[in-house]
Amino acid sequence: MLYLQPDLIEEILSRVPATSLKRLRSTCKRWNALLNNPRFNEKQFRRAPKESLALMLKENRIYPMSVNLNTSPPSIEFKGALGGLKNNSPRSEEVDIVEVFHCDGLLLCKTMFSKLVVWNPCLGETRWIIQTTRTSMFALGYENNKCGHIYKILKYCDGNTFPGLGVDKSEIYDFRFDRWRVLNHVAAPDRFLIKDIGVSLKGNTYWVADDVQTNSKFLLRFDFTGEIFTHL
């Protein structure tokens, strides 16, 4: 492939799944530069075959797994653990992960020592986030903007650690400004509790929350564009 035209190489690599592209980074400097090109990443996302994978946190490592519901009984196949997440110390050791949140191909990881890092396992890129409260819960999402996605992190108190507090102590981390700020327009603390990690869909986060007043459960959404919780 070294003798192929650059346009043809780009065309071939754009049809390779992202998980396989990671192995090619150390093969050729020119390929590595191509894989870092945002235009190529967008093209590859559109063309490459999609594989439905779930992520499981097991023994402080993240394992992709494929679930086949078309067999009887349904089968689960575990892939190799995602490697390469190392701390930002001079020793550069692989970190132990205790919580993970997935959004748009990015993983928001909480380490054994309550440090926070956003990790792109396909590109091998990380961004360590400074935080002051170690007992909070976190969610990763993005604001829909004409220029693209503006990624943000929501920090909130969960009902297990702080019974009765709900989400009244919420903060937002904006990647553009590299800082946290307090949200002043969240719901009253006696309305609902969040006890589990949410899921991301199109940039927003959803939870099954507890309504304290009615002792019932409901679907709760956090809109990262409007930065507001919504009872669905």
Work out the angle at residue 181's Cα, subtended by the Cα atoms of residues 178 and 183, and round it to the nearest 5 degrees: 145
pTM exceeds 0.75 = no
Lowest mean pLDDT among 157-166, 176-185, 204-213: 157-166
DSSP 21-80: HGGGTTT-HHHHHHHT-HHHHHHHHHHSPP---EEEEETTEEEEEEEETTSSS-EEEE-P
- Give pLDDT tens digits for 91-139: 767 888 888 999 988 999 998 877 899 988 877 788 999 876 666 788 9
Bridge partners of 76, per DSSP, are 67
pLDDT at 230: 85
Contact 150, 143 (CB under 8 A): yes
Q: Is 97 buried (19+), middle (13-18) or exposed (0-12) by CB count in 10 A? A: buried
CA atoms within 13 A on the CB side of 196: 11
pLDDT at 201: 92
Q: What six digits make up the tokens of 195?
A: 């006890």
Q: Which residue has the higher pLDDT, 1 or 144?
A: 144
Domain ranges in the chain are 1-51, 130-232
- Give pLDDT tens digits for 21-41: 666 666 777 777 777 777 777
Q: What does the pLDDT average to over 208-230?
A: 87
Mean pLDDT over each residue of the chain, to the nearest integer: 78
- Give pLDDT tens digits for 58-94: 888 888 887 777 777 877 777 777 777 877 776 767 8
Q: What does the pLDDT average to over 139-144?
A: 92
Q: What is the DSSP letter of 13?
A: H
Contact 123, 141 (CB under 8 A): no
DSSP 96-148: PEEEEEEETTEEEEEETTS-EEEEETTTTEEEEE--S-SS-EEEEEEEEETTE
d(CA 89, CA 163): 35
d(CA 214, CA 124): 46
